[in-house]
Amino acid sequence: MAFLLRFFSAFIFVLIPVSCQPGELFFAGFKGADTNITLSGVAEIGKNGILRLTNETSRLMGHAFYASPFQFKNSTNGKAFSFSTSFAFAIVPEYPKLGGHGLAFTISTSKNPQALPSQYLGLLNASDLGNFTNHLLAVEFDTVQDFEFEDINDNHVGIDINSLKSNASTPAAYYTDDSSKLDLNLKGKYAIQVWVDYDSVQNLLNVTISPTSKKPRLPILTFPIDLSPILKDYMYVGFSSSTGLLASSHYILGWSFKMNGQARALDLSSLPSLPAGPKKMHTGLTIVVAVSSVFLAIIAISSVIFYVIRKIKNADIIEDWELEIGPHRYSYQELKQATNGFSDKELLGQGGFGQVFKGTLPDSTAQVAVKRISNESKQGLREFLSEIASVGRLRHRNLVLLLGWCRRRDDFLLVYEYMANGSLDKLLFDEPKKILNWEKRFKIIKDVASGLLYLHEGYEQVVIHRDVKASNVLLDSELTGKLGDFGLAKLYEHGSNPSTTRVVGTLGYLAPELPRTGKATASSDVYAFGALLLEVACGRRPVEPKALPEEMVLVDWVWERFREGRVLDVVDHRLNGQYNESEMAVVLKLGIMCSNNVPIARPTMRQVMRFLDGEAQVPENLRAPQWAACADGGRDVIHGFDDFVNSFASSSFDKMSSSYSIMENRDIDNSFASLSTSPFSLLRVREETR
């Protein structure tokens, strides 16, 4: 018996990672460290011993972890130990001012996390984000501002616990000896040393950075935390990094770590150096250089002359206001080259604003979509660009990312991330090879809703999309739905004649109040979203002139069937009945609610999101979409806003507000004079305005 016990205890000891590792590690460069460091993703150790986590290709991940785990907690009382680490890193971005995305010192349960690139930094994925079962501590050096994770800017240091929403963060900076604070550019192509110190008595985690080997007296981040519940007994330490559409090379030059003590100091001058950009020259080449300099000078002078002549010819003069615009300004040549001279072969599609081309930017493999807009007035452009300057910084996983822009005479080019699976309308209507199943459709609906909610409520100012419709919902290679074209409609509204404001939108998606007030609101976006919901569920467009008369206008048809209690009859028959009936019912009912003619009767996107997530029940007794008109005998003769509210209230306002709150300090335009009765009137309005 005693023998058996001893046998088993010995067996158990073999299974538990043994803590006979020294509790300390030190790498001044990683030459020959292949056995001690486990690499995954694209991480590799260079000839001179530099550890490169990623290169400048988009959507990569790189991980490097110490091969064996460290014991981070006292197994008797479960208290985390103190530790300290120091490392040097450098970030070399593809474009000088645009990093992508960053790197993180990581304490993790796994050496090869099942994670995503881009804003996820190779640490987590969309499904485990924020889950306390992750047991993850990361100190991030982030060079992209992701609004989704509430990043403060595109050059910050943050402490992340189980999530990518930092628990503490600060713009990258360091303290000098006299305690003054200097800004530091993380992607400055030079080595930056970092010290991360955790004191388990004070329960303090400090992060200190400096561009020199001397540790500043003051940390840049101090975060009070007891790591005991976050860490497990045995954890791996290392680094994680990722690139997105924009990319950087992320390097680690040296690393030291110590459990329960001060990590050995690193000396930046003894660490491997960054790969040189341009090749250095030997002295033997001096003569050649001298001769070629003269030659180059001649070429330079003639190209300056050539350039000036071309400049005058092209009149591509950069005006002051253009320099103030936020996102990257591409040169026309760059984009012309990227799209093979805007060749028809690269044409992705043609929309109301212009053509869209597929392209690959020179010096990178990132695919982009270039939208060319012509013939717009300078005035409109300028207003639009100032909007881009603020809106162009919007980042959310359900918005198509605007990478940059370019202007050349009357041509105006916008560069977006490329969406491999094209637009939703193509997958729904254009006789696609494969029918989108309900699961995917429902996910896309939720994606669009969260993108639109973000535009309405997630940013510092309310952003109205103005042109929500199936062809503006684009799908990436994983079929994630993303809203495109936000803000573009505004450009169109400011037509060449400033005294007329054209109403923008697309037939069937245009809220009935819009032609009258001319003022787009969050609630007119909700109307368009309602049309999109019905479209996805029924697999047909909002207005189908060729359909039977009673089926021509989708909302009316769905409403009729709903009234008759046969709402599932309208479902896209190509789904062959393969769908979740409760989800379908939610989508159809929401579609009816959002399509209400009266703006305040529509839910907000926040409410829509709650209905879609199943956190709230969609009311059973819905209002007819054209119900305000019914209240007045079918004629749209309600004069003045007060009358409208009165008739509204006298009918069954109370009943409605009990089922969902509708009077949420909405922007109700007082010029709201009358209400449209039927979507047919839209047809007329649309013809007049286009």
Ligand X SMILES: Nc1ncnc2c1ncn2[C@@H]1O[C@H](COP(=O)(O)OP(=O)(O)OP(=O)(O)O)[C@@H](O)[C@H]1O
Which residues are part of the catalytic machinery?
A: 467
Contact 314, 410 (CB under 8 A): no
Closest by alpha carbon to 250, among 106, 417, 362, 403? 106
Distance in angstroms (rounded) separating the CA atoms of residues 675 and 681: 11
Q: Does 197 bind ligand NAG (CB under 6 A)?
A: yes
Interface residue with ligand X, options 263, 369, 388, 428 (CB under 6 A): 369
Contact 582, 588 (CB under 8 A): no
Q: Is 322 helix (H, G, I), strand (E, B) or coil?
A: helix
Give the number of C-alpha atoms closer than 13 A to the C-alpha of residue 544, restricted to the C-beta side. 20
Structure tokens at 567: 């709402």
Residue 352: name its binding partner from ligand NAG, ligand X, none (Cβ under 5 to 8 Å by kind): ligand X
Q: Which is nearer to ligand NAG, 133 or 665 (CB)?
A: 133
Residue 56: name its binding partner from ligand X, ligand NAG, none (Cβ under 5 to 8 Å by kind): ligand NAG
Report the 10 Å Cβ neighbour count for 368: 24
Instruction: Indicate the DSSP class of residue 284.
Output: G
Interface residue with ligand NAG, options 421, 647, 659, 689 (CB under 6 A): 421
Closest by alpha carbon to 407, among 323, 480, 486? 323
Interface residue with ligand NAG, options 133, 180, 461, 670 (CB under 6 A): 133
**Residue carrying the six token digits 């992607």:** 187
Q: Does 167 bind ligand NAG (CB under 6 A)?
A: yes
C-alpha distance across the termini of the chain, in Å? 92
Distance in angstroms (rounded) separating the CA atoms of residues 358 and 419: 10
Q: Which is nearer to ligand NAG, 83 or 644 (CB)?
A: 83
Interface residue with ligand NAG, options 308, 420, 637, 649 (CB under 6 A): 420
Distance in angstroms (rounded) separating the CA atoms of residues 64 and 643: 69
Instruction: Indicate the DSSP class of residue 625.
Output: T
| Region binding ligand NAG by CB under 6 A among candidate stretches 163-171, 377-385, 447-455, 540-548 | 163-171
**Residue carrying the six token digits 């032609």:** 515
Residue 484: name its binding partner from ligand NAG, ligand X, none (Cβ under 5 to 8 Å by kind): ligand X
Q: Which is nearer to ligand NAG, 498 or 614 (CB)?
A: 614
b/e map of 625-637 (b: 16 or more CB within 10 Å)?
bbbbbebbeeebe
Residue 48: name its binding partner from ligand X, ligand NAG, none (Cβ under 5 to 8 Å by kind): none
Interface residue with ligand X, options 81, 353, 509, 660 (CB under 6 A): 353
Q: Does 361 bind ligand X (CB under 6 A)?
A: no
Cβ of residue 477: shortest distance to ligand X, in angstroms?
11
Structure tokens at 537: 């569920």
| Helix %, strand %, coil % of the chain (to 5) | 30, 20, 45
How many residues line the site for ligand X (CB under 6 A)?
Answer: 22
Residue 131: name its binding partner from ligand X, ligand NAG, none (Cβ under 5 to 8 Å by kind): ligand NAG
Residue 670: name its binding partner from ligand X, ligand NAG, none (Cβ under 5 to 8 Å by kind): none
Confirm or deny that 73 is annotated as ligand binding.
Answer: no
Task: Catalogue the E-assigned strands of 604-659.
Answer: none
Q: Is 420 helix (H, G, I), strand (E, B) or coil?
A: coil
Backbone φ and ψ of 53, nearest 5°? -80, -45
Q: Does 493 bind ligand X (CB under 6 A)?
A: no
Q: Does 339 bind ligand X (CB under 6 A)?
A: no
- Binding residues for ligand NAG (CB under 6 A): 25-26, 35-36, 42, 55-57, 74, 76-77, 113-114, 125, 127-128, 130-131, 133, 161, 163, 165, 167, 197, 199, 204, 206, 219, 222, 225, 374-375, 420-421, 477, 479, 580, 582-583, 614
Binding residues for ATP: 371
Binding residues: 371
- Binding residues for ligand X (CB under 6 A): 348-353, 356, 369, 371, 400, 416, 418-419, 422-423, 426, 467, 471-472, 474, 484-485
